[in-house]
């Protein structure tokens, strides 16, 4: 029997292709920028080995500055440049910039000035000054004596600059140029994934127009592949045919590195190939609308699958009584199901796992209370708020923050989100300075905000001082300065009330992070202007309107009545649930494999639970603006931390390879 190719909004590739050789700690010659060994040694049992912490980087900077006092002018300049880079990597941009501006390099070869300009550009990019970075990077190509590492960084910073300037095609050109200077397989794969991510965010009409005039054959091949994906990405069967045609026309193109193992992964012995899938959902219950959204996404994905041998789908409405889920499970198996999806929700999942000896592969749409004893043919996939909270903690940590205050609602949901965030934050080494709860159905949140920001202590100091001096003082209350950011657990309507009040209490400059719950799902610049500045993680499905995602919405979802509402996230869950079925065993066998979905980048932990890596955005002028495309300064740190996203246990590997696949077939 031939492989049944499902609709898969991701090209799944063997994780081994992305394996990285061990990093080597070495002294960088004077012609190269300083490199820090941020990759874990290959095969290490503790992938955090070799990872330079913030304190390590500060110690390095101090060591370099000490050495700078002892050498020749060239050696001194080299060490000071290395110290500046270590400061930049640690997040200390202002001291780094002062150090760079203090250097007198006129008597030294031009390569020293080139290294300084590159570092100054990196600071400008991190400070969101792309015009300054663009000028600093201009003219650095032809510097004599610069090695491949300098040029690799130069083109990476040009890509980041062009992204900030909203020039995605120029960013793609820069990444293509960068590839000439990459020698490690893992770096090449990451660079190509960045190219692919950007291509899938460019509107197809713009790509088509560019094709008419682009002279570079490498870029032309990328664009043709992206257009094929946009046109046929909803049907992996047809897309497979288009990819084979593309490969015959571009046998030497670098993107073949991403495509070469597609057939092996999708047809290997670990691929699940069901003949009949049972979908168990509480369609006639208080959760009926949510269940219907999952159903609609799942069935839409199945309908878009053009494979004539695709599996049959049989839907079972398990009704409002979670206790009956084992009954429907046995019925579905008796009626020929060789794979089950559902039930939906924690209660029904817990009942099923406790009561039933699960005999066929089952993808639960929820988390059981006890996951340690589940058999290997049981998998779990849901949109857990705990996963999002834990991932928000990691994002804030990677952004350089170390201390936080937490504001959360006095509800069971709020307690769960607060607990998951705090556990993950402390596991990472962060400190929760203050936590306060609020009553969700109020409009005045001044009391918990004043408490979490320590405004009352500021006013108390004023009263004491005024009493001592026996005079009335002119006084401006000050918020606490011992927190780097605020984690806000809130839903959209409440967040729209909370954020302006946070600003009012002198915290307008305090970064605020949250989960997807702050975003209603559709751009609403009038009402969401009150959310400006909040950073949050969400699905690509909710944040991206062009390219592949836009095409999926038009061709598959169509006029679905709840598009761009909270229910739309459950529709996307249904789509990804269908898409991930063939890869369930493979994901469990290889915990380092990641695939692209519309809900997130998807992986799996040791308990068979699907993990999600979200996209990140910030409200700007009332609209969510995507923050980055994996071109950040903490690229390696992201990879080392990604496996723990959504796993609040603190156990398990910290490292994970990125799947070298395209988001597509």
pLDDT tens readout for residues 214-259: 788 899 999 888 888 777 766 767 777 888 889 889 888 988 877 7
d(CA 353, CA 377): 12
**Helix axes of 185-199 and 217-232: crossing angle, nearest 10 degrees:** 60
Distance, C-alpha 400 to centroid of its chain: 16
Among 364, 389, 357, 365, residue whose Cα is nearest residue 378? 364
Regarding predicted confidence, which is higher, 613 or 489? Answer: 489
d(CA 72, CA 109): 14
pLDDT tens readout for residues 605-651: 888 999 998 999 999 999 999 886 545 443 332 222 222 222 333 33
Burial environment of residue 210 by CB neighbours within 10 A (0 to 12, 13 to 18, 19 or more): middle
Residue by residue, DSSP assigns 393-436 as HHHHHHTT--EEEEEEESSHHHHHHHHHHHHHHHHTT-EEEEEE
List alpha helices for 254-384, DSSP H. 256-259, 262-267, 288-304, 325-334, 346-355
Cα-atom radius of gyration of the chain, to the nearest Å?
26
Distances in Å between the alpha carbon of 9 and those of 81, 187, 235, 301, 419?
44, 24, 9, 9, 33
Mean pLDDT in residue range 321-327: 93
List alpha helices for 69-147, DSSP H. 73-89, 93-102, 110-126, 130-137
Q: Which two tokens stand for residue 490?
A: 């809130």
pLDDT tens readout for residues 65-117: 989 888 888 988 989 999 998 888 877 888 888 898 888 888 888 888 899 99
CA torsion sign for 316, 317, 323, 327 is: negative
Mean pLDDT in residue range 119-135: 89
Burial environment of residue 509 by CB neighbours within 10 A (0 to 12, 13 to 18, 19 or more): exposed
d(CA 343, CA 279): 8
Q: Is residue 488 within 8 Å of residue 448, measured between CB atoms?
A: no
d(CA 591, CA 303): 30
Residue 597: the pLDDT is 86
Strand pairing category for 610-613 and 601-604: antiparallel
Q: Is pLDDT of 298 > 90?
A: yes
Burial environment of residue 420 by CB neighbours within 10 A (0 to 12, 13 to 18, 19 or more): buried
Residue 512: the pLDDT is 96
d(CA 494, CA 517): 10
Residue 398: the pLDDT is 83
Distance, C-alpha 244 to centroid of its chain: 30
Count the neighbouring beta carbons within 10 Å of the beta carbon of residue 424. 27
Residue 271: the pLDDT is 67
Q: State the greatest distance between any 2 C-alpha atoms of the chain, in Å, as a whole number.
A: 91
Average pLDDT score, the chain: 80
Highest-confidence range of 50-64, 364-378, 383-397, by mean pLDDT? 383-397
Burial environment of residue 306 by CB neighbours within 10 A (0 to 12, 13 to 18, 19 or more): middle
Distances in Å between the alpha carbon of 513 and those of 439, 498, 520, 599?
20, 13, 16, 20
Distance, C-alpha 266 to centroid of its chain: 25
- 122-126, 209-213, 287-291, 313-317: least confident range: 209-213
Confidence band for 371, pLDDT divided at 50, 70 and 90:
low
Answer whether 0.75 is exceeded by the pTM. Answer: no
Q: In a 3-state reduction of DSSP, which class is residue 248?
A: helix
Burial pattern 115-131, b for ≥16 Cβ within 10 A else e, equals bbbbbbbbbbbbeebbe
Q: In a 3-state reduction of DSSP, which class is residue 116?
A: helix
Contacts of 206 (CB under 8 A, 6+ apart): 169
Confidence band for 51, pLDDT divided at 50, 70 and 90:
very low
- Catalogue all structural domains in the chain, each as residue range(s) with its CATH number: 21-181 (1.25.40), 276-380 (3.40.50.2300)
- 3-17, 140-154, 155-169, 325-339: least confident range: 3-17
d(CA 329, CA 332): 5
Residue listed under structure tokens 């039933």: 356
Count the neighbouring beta carbons within 10 Å of the beta carbon of residue 209. 11
Count the neighbouring beta carbons within 10 Å of the beta carbon of residue 586. 21
Residue listed under structure tokens 């291509």: 199
Q: Is residue 187 within 8 Å of residue 21, measured between CB atoms?
A: no
**Helix axes of 110-126 and 73-89: crossing angle, nearest 10 degrees:** 10
């Amino acid at each position: 029997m031939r492989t049944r190719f499902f609709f898969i909004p991701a090209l799944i590739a063997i994780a081994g292709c992305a394996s990285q050789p061990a990093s080597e700690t070495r002294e960088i010659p004077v012609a190269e920028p300083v490199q820090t060994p941020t990759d874990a040694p290959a095969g290490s049992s503790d992938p955090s080995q070799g990872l330079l912490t913030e304190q390590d980087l500060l110690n390095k900077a101090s060591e370099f500055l000490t050495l700078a006092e002892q050498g020749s002018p060239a050696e001194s300049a080299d060490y000071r440049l290395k110290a500046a880079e270590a400061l930049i990597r640690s997040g200390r941009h202002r001291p780094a910039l002062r150090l760079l501006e203090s250097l007198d390099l006129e008597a030294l070869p031009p390569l020293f000035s080139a290294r300084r300009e590159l570092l100054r550009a990196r600071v400008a990019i991190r400070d969101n000054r792309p015009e300054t970075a663009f000028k600093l990077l201009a003219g650095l190509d032809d510097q004599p004596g610069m090695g491949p590492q300098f040029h690799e960084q130069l083109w990476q910073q040009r890509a980041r600059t062009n992204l900030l300037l909203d020039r995605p095609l120029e960013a793609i050109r820069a990444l293509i140029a960068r590839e000439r200077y990459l020698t490690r397989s893992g770096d090449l794969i990451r660079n190509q994934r960045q190219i692919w991510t950007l291509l899938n965010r460019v509107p197809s009409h713009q790509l088509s127009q560019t094709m008419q005039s682009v002279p570079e054959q490498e870029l032309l091949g990328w664009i043709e592949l992206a257009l094929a994906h946009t046109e046929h990405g909803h049907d992996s069967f047809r897309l497979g045919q288009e990819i084979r045609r593309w490969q015959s026309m571009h046998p030497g193109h670098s993107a073949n590195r991403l495509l070469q193992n597609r057939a092996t992964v999708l047809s290997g012995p670990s691929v699940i190939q069901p003949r009949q899938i049972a979908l168990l959902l509480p369609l006639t219950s208080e959760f009926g609308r949510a269940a219907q959204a999952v159903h609609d996404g799942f069935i839409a994905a199945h309908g878009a699958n053009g494979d004539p041998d695709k599996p049959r789908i049989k839907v079972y409405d398990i009704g409002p009584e979670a206790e009956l889920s084992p009954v429907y499970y046995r019925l579905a198996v008796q009626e020929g199901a060789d794979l089950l999806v559902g039930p939906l929700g924690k209660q029904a999942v817990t009942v099923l796992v406790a009561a039933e000896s699960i005999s066929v592969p089952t993808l639960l749409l929820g988390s059981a209370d006890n996951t340690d004893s589940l058999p290997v043919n049981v998998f779990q996939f849901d949109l857990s708020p705990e996963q999002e909270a834990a991932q928000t903690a990691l994002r804030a940590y990677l952004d350089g923050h170390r201390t936080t205050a937490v504001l959360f609602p006095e509800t069971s949901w709020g307690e769960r989100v607060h607990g998951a965030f705090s556990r993950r934050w402390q596991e990472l080494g962060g400190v929760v300075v203050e936590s306060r709860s609020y009553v969700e159905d109020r409009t005045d949140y001044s009391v918990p905000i004043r408490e979490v920001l320590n405004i009352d202590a500021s006013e108390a100091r004023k009263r004491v001082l005024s009493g001592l001096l026996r005079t009335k003082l002119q006084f401006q209350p000050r918020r606490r300065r011992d927190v780097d950011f605020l984690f806000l657990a809130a839903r959209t309507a409440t967040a729209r009330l909370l954020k302006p009040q946070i600003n009012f209490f002198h915290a307008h400059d305090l970064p605020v992070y949250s989960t997807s719950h702050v975003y209603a799902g559709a751009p609403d610049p009038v009402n969401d202007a009150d959310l400006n500045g909040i950073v949050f993680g969400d699905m690509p499905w909710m944040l991206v309107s062009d390219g592949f995602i836009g095409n999926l919405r038009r061709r598959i979802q169509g006029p679905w009545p709840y598009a761009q509402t909270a229910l739309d996230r459950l529709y996307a869950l249904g789509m990804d649930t269908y898409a991930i079925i063939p890869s369930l065993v493979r994901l469990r066998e290889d915990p380092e494999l990641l695939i692209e979905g519309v809900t997130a980048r998807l992986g799996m932990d040791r308990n068979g639970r699907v993990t999600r890596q979200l996209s990140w955005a910030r409200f700007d002028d009332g609209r969510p603006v995507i923050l980055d495309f994996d071109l950040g300064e903490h690229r390696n740190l992201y990879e080392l931390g990604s496996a723990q996203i959504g796993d609040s246990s603190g156990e398990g590997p910290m490292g994970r390879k990125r799947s070298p696949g395209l988001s597509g077939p």
